Every structure is written in structure tokens, then in C-alpha cells.
Structure 1
Amino acid sequence: MKAYRKITFFVIIFILIFSFAYADSYNLLDERYFLVRNSYEIINDGINDVHKLNIRVLAGSGGDSAYQKNYDFDIYPFPSSLFTDDWGNTYATINVETLKPGQKIKVVVEREILNGGISFDKSIYGLKADYSEFLRDPFNSKYVLHAEKIESNNPGIRAKALELASTGTVVEKAKKIYDFVNLHIKYDTDPRFANKGALSGFITGRGVCDEYATLFTALCRAAGIPSRVVEGYWLEDEVKENQWTDVSDKRHA
């Protein structure tokens, strides 16, 4: 049995750093509503009936950010249950009693979001962020711990993080880490290097958006800066170049 996922946007990885920037330190640009549609097809390509099939799909994230707000979502067929994990990702389960050979079922998830650009004022570089209170909550400890493909406990990554983040404010430290990752990794879609995670990108200096994002996150966590990886969608025709960000398809991390 095969499962196909159809999406109309390019998938990118980007970073959300928990910072204590004040609301007046950034401006929102060109806010617009978008309808994001994910379509999945599950096909029984075997010779026997498949019974009691439980299909679980990602329904989206409930976490709003400064530049994006979630308004509504619909799922077809109607799910039997919804589950939200510790990261705020919501999954829907659709139960199928029987799927006969050659039969397929289509699952569609539609989400309405308000999204816009964000421009930070340079004053955020001087902010003195203190994460001690944030990290007292056991729920938040995961943002500084190692995880799959985010090997922040690796001795080499820890040493590099301490070297890069030895001085400066939190934002300045994060910028040093960002600059290092951007220069250290060469974009390479070779399967030997692509989508292998932080440690692979650190050792080989090669990879794709996954390596840019996970290595940046691993170094931030090793430096004590709470951070996480967020997956999103890139609308190719909507990306606009500016003097701050290189938005070529090889720098979308």
C-alpha cells in the first residue's frame, strides 16, 4: 500500500528563536490571508483487503507567532479524533473500515491563516534576555536539550557553540551562530548529505535546508539559547529579495 502527499508549496525549514523582544521592536509587513491545502492519497496497491486502517495526518500547528495567526481548519473525511503533541502540532486520525485492492481514499486538510512579513528593529541586538525563569518550567526544557537530528550534546558542536557564543547579547550570539552555519555548509542534495541532521552538516559541511536549520538549532541549544525547528511553506512567487536576506532556493533555511 502506498501513500502519496500532494502539496502545492515548497517545504522549507526555518528557525524560531525564543527571544524577549518587545512588541515595538518589530513591524509586520503586508499581512494577508492564505488558504493552505494539504492533500493525501492512500492507495491499496496490494491484492488483499486492508481492514481497520487508521490514517494519521498532520492537521497543523496551533501555535501563533508574531507574524502568523491560525484562524480555522477543516478536514475531510471528518476525523475520528484529534491529538496535539508537546510541540503544539495537531494530528487527525481517520478510521477506514476496509480498503479494497485498487481502492484509494483522499484526505484533505485546509487551514486558513493570516501571514505577513516581519521587520525587526536593530534595537533587539541590545536586549539582555534572561531565560532562567523560562527554563524553570519543565515543559520548556526540551528547547535546550538534544534531540533526533539536533545533536546539541555532541562535544564538537558544544565546543563550537561556546566559541561562537562566548560574548555578546543573546541576539548577537545567535547572529554569530547563523553566520557560521551559513558559511560552513555548502548546499548539496546528494543523498549522502541531505536530510541527515545537525551532526552530519557539522562534520561534512554539506547538506540541504534540514542541515542549515538543525545545525543552527543544535548550536543555539548548546549555547543555552532555547530554540526549535519549524517547518513551513514557501510560496515561490511571493518571495521578495531585500538587502538583508539571501532568498535564493539554496539559502531558504
Structure 2
Amino acid sequence: MFGKSNRIVIVLLLALCTMTGWSSPANPGEPYQANVALSLDPAKIEATLRWRDDVGQIDAIVPTLDKELTTSSAQGMSFIEIDPEVVGSSISALEGTDLDRSLLTGSESKDKFYVLENNLRITNPGSATCQGLKLEVPLMADIDSPYQELVAEEFSVEPLILNEADNGNRIGTFAFNDIGPGQETIFTQRYIVKVDGSDWLQSAGQVALGNTEPYLAAAPKIESNAPEIKAVASQIIDEAHAEDSLNLARRAFDFTHRTLKYDSTAPSANKGALAGLKAKAGVCEEFASLFVATCRASGVPARIVNGYASDVSELAGEGNAANLTGRRHQWAEFYLEGKGWIPADPTLTNSLNPMFGELPVGYYLAQNYGDLPIRGWYRGGQVSIGFEHKLAKTVGTEDNEQVSQF
């Protein structure tokens, strides 16, 4: 449990999703689907979009209102499912932005330690008590990316069950006390991570990839089997004149960065690799997905990484905690035999800072290898869930004696 410490509270909800409980269906035991609209508070959206007003840059992110959110009921239990990610990246890789002028300065190769705190604010705006609430919550993955290590973690509520997938993604099941009308409870996840900014193309990797199939197969938004993407891969292979994975990955990287234009208003935004290729536009999701899909179609194992990033400064400096609202980002990794997973960010790469093979330390923080929804069950009342993300730099040692700055 958390000790008593001075906390700097920086509260900004990414989105506010409200779910209403439903009565039992006409035939008990038979689940049914109910259409529930995703409610986004315009004031919160405005705050999210304008987090960089102080430097004169406003990111034109258009939130998606059709996020996955379903409510069903069986024998009096309400079921909720929420995709917590706000659409797009807040990174300033927009048209007209000179990325070369956003030189990533101050990066050091030595290890740094950070404390990431994710809060779920769970409220009951209804008139009845919410009982028996259980949530399945995606947690920070068991990261095997070479530039980050999960050192320690703690939760304000101990998990009933903790499941881990083959790719390291983890989901915890948590039970909460009854929430009365108008009452709120906060569920906190806190992680201490170590980050490293080495050039991984020059380092020997320690991760042996036993089964490459999941990282070569087509997947939703990674349509490596689509004729259009296979044609791109075929051209890359012909140009490479050899099946060298590093050469193929570099050509896929260059093609992606050269082909796509960052446009958060494009209809293809958050639609994945094929949509981005056809429109030649999108956000970080299209950049990362097209690179991964092209790598896979070329025979190079690759995967998506979800997390947080900044292109102008470290995510958190010394002292005060930083609010990560609006800094959600997606990049990629490809696998090289003998070296392991190699990071690549075709969205933020530029001539002065090529994000191929290394990432500047402190500017990236990985969370998992695929966004997963929050799922839950409860009886009575209503449930409203908001999201907060904070990060602080801390002093770290290998024996886990880190001190939080919150």
C-alpha cells in the first residue's frame, strides 16, 4: 500500500466515459447488447488539445467518439467495456512543423529512473449504490524492450488475478468496495522504471525470439497480407538485393516516413496501415502500423509499442511531477537475430535525430504492446471512469530504494 508522501496533484482527465446499469433481460441468463454513447466532456477535450499553448503550439487532435464501449446485462449484472485511449498523438509532427528545429537536446546515455502513476477515478453519479464492482485493467507490460526495465510496481488495490500474455501484456482483475451515490474511489497503479538510451544496433541483444509467427502475421490494422502492402514489400526486397533484415527494416522505415503525411484530421487517422497507405496520411498509429506491416510482409518480425513520448524535452524533469495528458504515442520495434528488439519511430524521426535503432533517453516511456480495453461488472447505480497519467523523475538504485516525487 502507499505510504504517506507529499503529492503534487495534477488532475486532467483524458476522457470521461459514463456507463449506466441496465436491468435484467427478458430471458434471464441471456446477455444482450445495449447501445451506449461515449460521453466526452468538451472542457476536458479542450484542455487536452491545448497542453502546449505555453510554447505556442496547439495540436489539432480530433477525438474519436465511436470508441469501443458496450454495456450488456445478465442476471442483473451490468457489463462495461472501455477503450481508454484518446485518439492520435499529441506530438507536434504536423504539417508545417520543422522537426529539425525540435532537436532533442539534453539526452544522456546513462540510465534514468522514473515513477509513472496511472489513476482511474471511479465515480457513481447515479442514485443507487454501485455494488460488487470488478474491473479487468490493462497494466504495464512485462517489458522486454531493451531500453526500458520495470523495476517495481504497486497498486492501491491488490489484484485478485493477474494474467500475462505471451507478448508480456498483463491484465489484472480488481475488486472494489461498494460506491455510494455521488461517491468516488481512486484506483492507482504506480510503476518504477529504468530507461536506457543506448544505440541498440551496436549492442548485443539478450532477448531470443522463440516463436516469430505472431510478429510476422497479419493483424487488425497491421494488414501485412494486403496486396498493396505486399507490393511495397516486394519492391523493398528487390531494391535490397538480399534478405538482410536490417537493410529491409531500414528501407521499410524510410518508405513509411517518406510516404505518410502527419494529419490528425485525415479520415485514415487511427485506421491502421492499409488506410494510411491508401490516404498517404494519418497519425502515429498509421506510421507505426505501416512500418510494422511492411516489415512483416518483408519477412522481418516487428511489433507495435504503445506508451508516451515527447519530441521537445524529457517527459518529466527534476522535481515536480509532469502531466502526461496528450502525450500518448505509438512507435515500433523490429527484431534482429543476435541483437533483439530494435526501436524505430517513423513519426518523429528527422534528419538531425533519426529514430532508428535508438531512442533518446527520457523522451519515451513504453506501456504495452497493444491497447486493451478496460472491462468490468457491477450491480446497481452508475459508473463513471476518468483517466489521469503523471510522471516524475526519481533517484534509483538497483535494490529498489527509489523515492517517489509525487
- Common fold: TM-score over 0.5: yes
Matched to 1:156, the amino acid is E
Give the superposition deviation at 1:101: 2.9
1:227 aligns to 2:302 (yes or no) = yes
Q: Which moved more, 1:222-231 or 1:83-92?
A: 83-92
Which residue of 1 is the match for residue 237 of structure 2?
Answer: 165
Q: CA deviation at 1:59?
A: 1.9
1:119 is aligned with what amino acid?
Answer: D
Question: Structure 1 residue aligned with 2:314, among 216, 230, 238?
Answer: 238
What runs of 5+ residues in structure 1 fail to find an aligned partner? 13-27, 125-132
2:184 paired with 1:104 = yes
Residue number in structure 2 paired with 1:212 = 287
Structure 1 match to 2:222? 150
Quick one: which amino acid aligns to residue 30 of structure 1? K
Q: After superposition, what is the alpha-carbon deviation per residue over 1:139-161, rounded to whole angstroms, capped at 9, x for unaligned?
A: 43111001111111111111111
Which residue of 2 is the match for residue 76 of structure 1?
Answer: 156
Q: Which residue of 1 aligns with 2:25?
A: none
Instruction: Tell me if structure 1 keeps the 8 A contact 2:124–2:130.
Output: yes
The whole-number CA distance in structure 1 between the counterparts of 2:294 and 2:137 is 31
Q: Which residue of 1 aligns with 2:271?
A: 196
C-alpha displacement of 1:217 = 0.4
Gap regions ≥5 residues in structure 2: 1-17, 20-81, 92-107, 316-349, 365-406
Contact residue 276 and residue 282 of structure 2 kept, 8 A? yes
Is the CA contact 2:266–2:281 (under 8 Å) kept in the aligned structure 1? no
Distance 2:123 2:85 in 1: 13
1:148 partner SS = coil
Which range moved further: 89-98 or 218-227? 89-98
Q: Which deviates further from its counterpart, 84-93 or 40-49?
A: 40-49
Instruction: Provide the rounded CA distance (Å) in 2 between the counterparts of 1:233 and 1:161.
Output: 29
How many positions carry a matched residue from both structures?
220
Q: CA deviation at 1:105?
A: 2.0
Q: TM-score, normalised by structure 1?
A: 0.75
Amino acid at match of 1:44: N
SS at match of 2:304: strand
Distance 1:245 1:233 in 2: 18
Distance, in Å, in 2 between the alignment partners of 1:4 and 1:209 is: 18
Identity %: 29
TM-score (norm. length: structure 2): 0.49
**One-letter code aligned to 1:145:** A
Answer with 208-217 or 189-198: which moved more. Answer: 189-198
Aligned-partner Cα distance in 2 for 1:163–1:234: 32
Structure 1 match to 2:5: none
Is the contact made by 1:4 and 1:42 (CA closer than 8 Å) also made in structure 2? Answer: no
Q: Quick check: 61-70 or 211-220, which moved more?
A: 61-70
Q: What's 1:89 paired with?
A: 169
Counterpart in 2 of 1:23? none
- Structure 1 residues 161 and 69 mapped into 2: Cα distance closer, same or farther (>3 Å)? same
Q: Say if 1:69 and 1:113, in contact at 8 Å, map to a contact too.
A: yes
TM-align CA RMSD: 3.2
Partner SS for 2:300: coil
Matched residue type, 1:55: L
Q: Distance in 1 between matches of 2:251 and 2:110?
A: 29
State the shift of 1:220 in Å.
Answer: 0.6
Query: Is the 8 Å Cα contact of residues 41 and 104 (structure 1) preserved in structure 2?
Result: yes
Question: Quick check: which has more Rg, 1 or 2?
Answer: 2
Determine the structure 2 residue equivalent to 1:129.
Answer: none
| Distance (whole Å) between structure 2 residues aligned to residue 182 and residue 225 of structure 1 | 18
| Matched AA of 2:264 | T
